[in-house]
Structure 1
Amino acid sequence: MLSNKKIAVESLYVQIIGSIYHKWELIYVKERNILAGFQTEDDAQEAEKALRQAGFSIIQIDRIGQFPGDGNEQIMNPISGDFPSLGSLTLAGDFPSGRDASIMAAVDPDASGMADRGDDNLYRSVLLTAVVPEEQGDLAIEIIRSYGGMI
């Protein structure tokens, strides 16, 4: 008798766990996170508008950059020597963490102008982020690419 009760309890336990998992599976929605780079904010806003018209709601647009800060708000004269670093002067970066970061930024070929990357994909400074249902991910990617976004 004891073994029959043990089997019944284990069977009940399996049924409860199975029903909880089934309910969790119904509630849980599989999503896809899409990150896309754009060259202009206007292109990203057009893509956002098209995504919203297609029924997607979780969309965000941000400006990103290789260097921190919003850039220089005044004209700097390199002859006068009144600028914090080469990175601040040529890369329009603000380096609040200290001089070390600005020195490392000055090593970048963009600071000296001595090298040309020749790659347009590096200048995508607008980031569109979208969270979409998994089954509609391909549609969202197609819409983003039609507006010039790079996934």
Structure 2
Amino acid sequence: MAEKNILAYFKSPEEAEGVKAKLEVLRAIDISIDRFSRYPGDGVEHIENPITGDITSLADLTLGADVSSRSAGILTAVDPGASGLSDGGQDDPVGRDILLTAVMPEETHEQAIQVIEQAGGML
């Protein structure tokens, strides 16, 4: 049985979940839904004093990036949004930060693409 992969981007997890249910009816072999961001980690979960705290990067303070090394901190601090002088175009990939990845049988691949497009997904 031949398989084909699909990567589709959505604006909300609910949109992707709705498509997932429909793809399962079309005998999807594997489906996953993930949120992605241009910043590493899951974000900072605690508030630190910028004067006395152990701040890894400007991006840690202004963008909530979970920076794991000095080099990563320097790279993320270069983002226009980190300075506070720009929002840096916060609508990551045109507001579509939910990725649905599906492995479909070749015979239902075209139907799956139609389902995704009708639901507002971007391929």
Q: Could you report, residue by residue, the CA deviation over 1:22-43 in whole angstroms, capped at 9, with x for unpaired residues? A: xxxxxxx222110111121111
Match of residue 136, structure 1, among 93, 108, 121: 108
Measure the CA separation in 1 of the matches of 2:83 and 2:109: 42
Gaps of 5+ in 2: none
Contact 2:63 2:81 in 1 (8 A): yes
Measure the CA separation in 2 of the matches of 1:90 and 1:81: 16
**Deviation of the 1:87 alpha carbon:** 1.1
Match of residue 111, structure 1, among 82, 86, 99: 82
Asked whether 1:101 is paired with 2:72, we answer yes
Distance 1:81 1:112, change over 3 A: farther
Partner SS, residue 132 of structure 1: strand
Q: Which AA in structure 2 matches 1:111?
A: A
Gaps of 5+ in 1: 1-28
**Deviation of the 1:74 alpha carbon:** 1.9
Question: Superposed, which structure 2 residues align to 1:2-151 within 5 Å?
Answer: 29-78=1-50, 80=51, 82=53, 83-96=55-68, 98-113=69-84, 114=86, 116-117=88-89, 121-151=93-123
Q: Which has the higher helix share?
A: 1
Q: CA-atom RMSD, angstroms?
A: 2.2
Q: How many residues align?
A: 121
**Deviation of the 1:136 alpha carbon:** 1.9
Contact 2:10 2:16 in 1 (8 A): yes
Distance 1:40 1:76, change over 3 A: farther
| Bigger CA radius of gyration | 1
Distance 1:35 1:102, change over 3 A: same
Instruction: Give aligned-pair identity as a percent.
Output: 44
Measure the CA separation in 1 of the matches of 2:47 and 2:94: 26
